[in-house]
């Protein structure tokens, strides 16, 4: 067949295949146009899930009468004029394809009026880009776009649409996401003439948090950290959920780049790394985050529907996101929190391969709330070790004979975690503070303390070793014995002196001073198992944090070992100085606080 030019309407229908997937696709394109028009109020009326009617009205700048035909023509836009503009896109829409594509698969009417115009003008389109005849209309300043009978002329595509309920759920979810991107705009969503969403502009932080709570739930705000970091021309602000406030799905993760909601693998990886050793396995973090950077550093033209972007300095962006989130989670310690009272009735059940680089991050704003009470999460604890107090001989602690005095001192409020009163069931530390009581999972807390110390020592190349009085012979497989010999430098860096003495025998002569000396054979075998799992040297180095986590678990006080008052207080003081102390290495919560008000409420005091 001879080469021929396609009819304009068919070209637009082909383009619509990329832009218009379902009714929510139309809503996205049109609402983004409202953003670019400077609107402060947007009203979306939908009928039959958007299949029959989508009407979107804004109070933006409007469109001039003479520009209406151009607005409904392909590749016509007011947002770019040159290649340089395309490399610095700061608007939401810029291709000039949405309106003609939509009009080629639905009946579209556009009504618009500028602020200084005598009246509004109305025009209809069918995707052919001809026979435009603007007619006057009493519409107020702003724009209304009425889209009806989606896919009326392409019945094959209409068959792929889902039920009315499903299609509207996509629209509702989209509007909520877009409402989180622009707090300065009010949103109203009506379905079948019934109001579903009504959000007023939210300029103040309190109103912004109220909007987030209405979309993500009040528990999100109550269990999140507000962050605002800036470095190297990048700014990250927003809210990140505490590690103990996580979800089984990635359904509460909202990330915006220069106001545009995106899904990006680089961002996902940076967030995953930041949460790696504080999140319980199989759980996903929650966040509402806003990244602002020079438009020249991000390509928003990488996806037809603009759902993905391409960062020109991907490594810089990744490291900035990781450092900012990692630092925020690390700063969650007792005494560094605000409103740190857990509500009793609530329940909501990567690691860097090198130490933090001196990236000049400025923490401009920080506040936090505590983790909620959680259900008991079981965990197999390693073998018993020496008394906790023997590992911290320099601590000024309270003796057993002076336990009563420790309770009296608790009222002074000297320490955020107070003073220990009892060791409940040989598992939990009960501590009294100035404002209430605190329960601590001793093993989980000690595990985090050991882990952070081991990481610091390892990355500084200074893990103190302590020789064993009698070398320990360990029977292993021939493969494990060979690995121990091959990975001798790695074991040495961890604080172990380990030598091979036979085909299936290795000899341990020194251990990390922090861990004590009991049951080291089990620990060595576990580390060798990790090496077998992760491969040889380079892979092991990349997974060094997992090895250190294994060591920390083995070196922590096990459940059912009775702690003395001075041992418990030593642990409480260490917790107050340890980063990410709210969770153990496996993501389990380590401590929880009950205020006197919570206790009064529980026992109906004063009611």
Q: Per-domain residue ranges for the chain?
A: 8-199, 205-368, 376-607
Judge whether residue 118 has pLDDT over 70: yes
Extract the tokens encoding 148.
């009806």
Judge whether residue 271 has pLDDT over 80: yes
Nearest to 443 by CA among 356, 393, 385, 504: 385
- The pTM of this model reads 0.70
Tell me if 293 sits within 8 A of 234, measured CB to CB: yes
Give residue 424's pLDDT band: very low, low, confident or very high (50, 70, 90). very high
Could you tell me the CA-to-CA distances from 56 to 77, 125, 282 in Å, in that order?
A: 19, 16, 40
Judge whether residue 363 has pLDDT over 50: no
Collapsing DSSP states into helix, strand and coil, what is residue 310? strand
The CATH number of 205-368 is 3.30.230.10
**CA angle (429 as vertex; 420, 285 as ends), nearest 5:** 125
Tell me if 269 sits within 8 A of 318, measured CB to CB: yes
- Start-to-end C-alpha separation, the chain: 88
Complete DSSP assignment for 136-189 = EE---SEEEEEEESTTTT-HHHHTT---HHHHHHHHHHHHHHHHHH-TTSEEEE
Judge whether residue 84 has pLDDT over 80: no
Nearest to 580 by CA among 453, 431, 458: 453
User: H/E element holding 257?
Assistant: strand 253-257
| Residue 428: CA count within 13 A, CB half-sphere | 14
pLDDT tens-digit map of 206-217: 999 999 999 999
**CA–CA separation, 388 vs 575, rounded Å?**
13
pLDDT tens-digit map of 478-512: 888 988 888 888 888 888 899 999 999 999 999 88
**CA–CA separation, 102 vs 64, rounded Å?**
20
Collapsing DSSP states into helix, strand and coil, what is residue 291? strand
Mean of the pLDDT values across residues 373-386?
A: 27
Judge whether residue 145 has pLDDT over 70: yes
Interstrand relation of 505-512 and 497-502 (parallel, antiparallel or unpaired)? antiparallel
Spell out the long-range contacts of 600-606 with Cβ–Cβ below 8 A and sequence spacing 24 or more: 601/344, 602/344
Residue ranges in 228-292 assigned as alpha helix (H): 265-274
Question: CB 398: neighbour CB atoms within 10 A?
Answer: 20
278-287, 326-335, 485-494: which has the minimum mean pLDDT?
326-335
- Which residues, other chains included, contact 48 with Cβ-Cβ below 8 Å and sequence gap of 6+? 164, 192
**CA angle (270 as vertex; 267, 272 as ends), nearest 5:** 105
Question: CB 82: neighbour CB atoms within 10 A?
Answer: 8
Tell me if 587 sits within 8 A of 283, measured CB to CB: yes
Give residue 166's pLDDT band: very low, low, confident or very high (50, 70, 90). very high
| Residue 1: CA count within 13 A, CB half-sphere | 3
**CA–CA separation, 51 vs 149, rounded Å?**
6
CATH of 8-199, one of 1.10.3720.10, 1.10.4160.10, 3.30.565.10, 3.30.590.10: 3.30.565.10
| Residue 577: CA count within 13 A, CB half-sphere | 8
Tell me if 175 sits within 8 A of 31, measured CB to CB: yes
Query: 376-607 domain in CATH 3.40.50.300?
Result: no
Beta-bridged to residue 310, according to DSSP, are 299
């Amino acid at each position: 067949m001879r080469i021929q030019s396609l009819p304009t309407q068919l070209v637009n229908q082909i383009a619509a295949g990329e832009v218009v997937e379902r009714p929510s696709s139309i809503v996205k394109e049109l609402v983004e146009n409202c953003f670019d028009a400077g609107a402060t109020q947007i009203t979306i009326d939908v009928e039959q899930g958007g299949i029959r009617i989508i009407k979107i009205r804004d109070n933006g700048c409007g469109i001039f009468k003479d520009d209406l035909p151009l607005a409904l023509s392909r590749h016509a836009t007011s947002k770019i004029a040159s290649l340089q503009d395309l490399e610095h896109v700061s608007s939401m829409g810029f291709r000039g394809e949405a309106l003609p594509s939509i009009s080629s698969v639905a009946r579209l009417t556009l009504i618009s009026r500028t602020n200084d115009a005598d009246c509004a003008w109305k025009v209809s389109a069918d995707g052919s880009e001809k026979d435009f005849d603007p007619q006057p209309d009493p519409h107020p300043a702003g724009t209304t776009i009425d889209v009806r009978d989606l896919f009326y002329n392409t019945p094959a595509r209409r068959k792929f649409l889902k039920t009315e309920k499903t299609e509207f759920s996509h629209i509702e979810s989209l509007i909520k996401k877009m409402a989180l991107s622009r707090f300065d705009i009010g949103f109203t969503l009506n379905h079948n003439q019934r109001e579903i969403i009504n959000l007023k502009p939210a300029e103040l932080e309190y109103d912004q948090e109220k909007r987030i709570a209405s979309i993500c739930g009040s528990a999100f705000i109550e269990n999140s950290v507000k962050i605002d970091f800036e470095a190297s021309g990048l700014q990250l602000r927003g809210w990140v959920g505490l590690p103990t406030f996580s979800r089984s799905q990635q359904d509460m993760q909202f990330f915006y780049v220069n106001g545009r909601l995106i899904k990006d693998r680089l961002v996902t990886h940076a967030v995953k790394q930041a949460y790696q050793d504080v999140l319980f396995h199989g759980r996903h973090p929650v966040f509402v985050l806003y990244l602002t950077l020079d438009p020249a550093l991000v390509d928003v033209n990488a996806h037809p529907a603009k759902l993905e972007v391409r960062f020109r300095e991907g490594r810089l962006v990744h490291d900035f996101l990781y450092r900012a989130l990692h630092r925020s989670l690390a700063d969650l310690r007792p005494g560094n929190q605000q409103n740190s009272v857990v509500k009793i009735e609530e329940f909501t059940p990567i690691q860097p391969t090198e130490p933090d680089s001196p990236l000049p991050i400025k923490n401009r704003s920080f506040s936090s709330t505590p983790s909620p009470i959680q259900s008991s999460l079981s965990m197999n604890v390693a073998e018993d070790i020496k008394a906790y107090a023997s590992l911290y001989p320099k601590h000024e602690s309270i003796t057993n004979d002076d336990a009563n005095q420790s309770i009296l001192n608790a009222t002074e409020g000297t320490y955020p975690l107070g003073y220990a009163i009892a060791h409940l069931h040989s598992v939990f530390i009960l501590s009294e503070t100035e404002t209430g009581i605190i329960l601590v999972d001793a093993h989980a807390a000690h595990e985090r303390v050991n882990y952070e110390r081991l990481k610091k020592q390892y990355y500084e190349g200074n893990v103190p070793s302590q020789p064993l009085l009698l070398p320990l012979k360990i029977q292993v497989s021939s493969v494990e014995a060979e690995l121990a010999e091959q990975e001798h430098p790695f074991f040495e860096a961890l604080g172990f002196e380990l030598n091979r003495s036979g085909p299936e025998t290795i000899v341990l002569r020194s251990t990390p001073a922090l861990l004590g000396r009991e049951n080291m054979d089990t620990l060595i075998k576990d580390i060798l198992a990790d090496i077998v799992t992760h491969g040889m040297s380079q892979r092991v180095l990349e997974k060094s944090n997992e090895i250190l986590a294994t060591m920390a678990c083995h070196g922590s006080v096990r459940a059912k070992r009775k702690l003395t008052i001075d041992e418990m207080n030593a642990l409480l003081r260490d917790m107050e100085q340890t980063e990410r102390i709210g969770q153990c290495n496996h993501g389990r919560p380590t401590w929880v606080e009950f205020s006197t008000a919570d206790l009064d409420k529980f026992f109906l005091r004063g009611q």
